[in-house]
Structure 1
Amino acid sequence: MYRGTRRKSSSAAMQITFLSISLPYGFLISVERASHFNHSKLFQVLASQIGSMGTILFARKEEGLAVAPTFNVTVVFGKRNEPMLVACARQIIQYMSDTGSTKALVLSLGLRDHSMETMKAIVSTIKEKLPEIS
């Protein structure tokens, strides 16, 4: 059962759209899009079971001459030896690209459980809820 809230705040210079979702798996997912003068370049997603930001990853689509798109995912802060976290960010940025988004992604994962089931739940929830905030 999802329980979520959606808020929108704005000023003359910046608009922030925020969606918060509580999941039965014991974690909270927050998705935020901030646009400055109606120009948004980034999504921020926070998924936490421990109440903190945890590992912070930055993902973006690489522009180039290749036919197939390539994606760059880097760990900004936190656990660098967790390939499941990088795979989670890569799946989300690939989905965003497939839906036509050119935005970069900042993903914060504060998780106790790094299992494949947890990562699948995070990715599927974000895929389901991302259109609501785009």
Structure 2
Amino acid sequence: MELRPDSHPANGFPVMHKKISLDVKGNKTDIVICKYDDKFLVMVTQIGCMGTILHARKEESEGIYMVPTFNISTIFGKRDEPLLVACARQLIEHISSCGSSLSLVLTLGVKDHSPGTLKDIIAAVIENRLW
């Protein structure tokens, strides 16, 4: 997995962001990570468009155990792809574990929905995170 940063958060765009390009399992993959006041936006594409759009957020739990729960919903796109939902879940869990309460909008336009591809994408996003 080769990583090439194309821009830096301080290049003048008013929203803090990072843009990277890398090769994932033979497919050129572009990733843009943006931090807004109320959420993170992570766009991943190997096909030149957004693909499936998911929304993920941490639910505040009540009670004595205070176990966090996460709500993942598919806004547009493939609803029968559990690995895409798992990808969003892993990212929102990581965001939450780092202390942020912001929600996540994730777009996945990927050719290959295999666990290995999604694992490499998650690793690249976490390595370049803005949270």
TM-score after normalising by structure 2: 0.89
- 2:3 match: 2
Deviation at 1:46, TM superposition (A): 0.4
2:95 is the alignment partner of 1:96: yes
Counterpart secondary structure, 1:7 = coil
**Number of corresponding residues:** 123
Q: Does 1:27 align with 2:26?
A: no
CA distance in 2, matches of 1:78, 1:64: 29
Q: Deviations over 1:44-102 (max 9, x none)?
A: 00010000000000000001215211000000000000000000000000000000000
Which residue number in structure 1 is paired with residue 124 of structure 2? 125
Give the superposed CA RMSD. Answer: 1.2
The alignment-based identity, stated in percent, is: 43
Report SS of the residue matched to 2:19: strand
- Secondary structure of 1:79's partner? coil
Aligned ranges 1:1-134 → 2 under 5 Å = 1-4=2-5, 5-8=7-10, 9=12, 15-25=14-24, 26-34=28-36, 40-65=37-62, 66-130=65-129, 133-134=130-131
Partner in structure 2 of residue 37 of structure 1:
none
Superposition deviation, residue 127 in structure 1: 1.1
Which amino acid counterpart does residue 117 of structure 2 have in structure 1?
T
Q: Following TM superposition, where does structure 1 have runs of at least 4 consecutive aligned residues deviating by more than 3 angstroms?
A: 7-10
**What SS does the corresponding residue of 1:119 show, helix, strand or coil?**
helix
Residue type of the partner of 2:35?
A: R
* Distance in 1 between residues matched to 2:49 and 2:96, nearest whole Å: 28
Amino acid at match of 1:98: S
Distance 1:72 1:102 in 2: 13
How big is each residue's C-alpha offset from its partner over 1:11-52, in whole Å with a ceiling of 9 and x where there is no partner?
A: xxxx40110111112211110112xxxxx1100000100000
Matched AA of 1:87: A
Deviation at 1:7, TM superposition (A): 3.4
TM-score (norm 1): 0.87
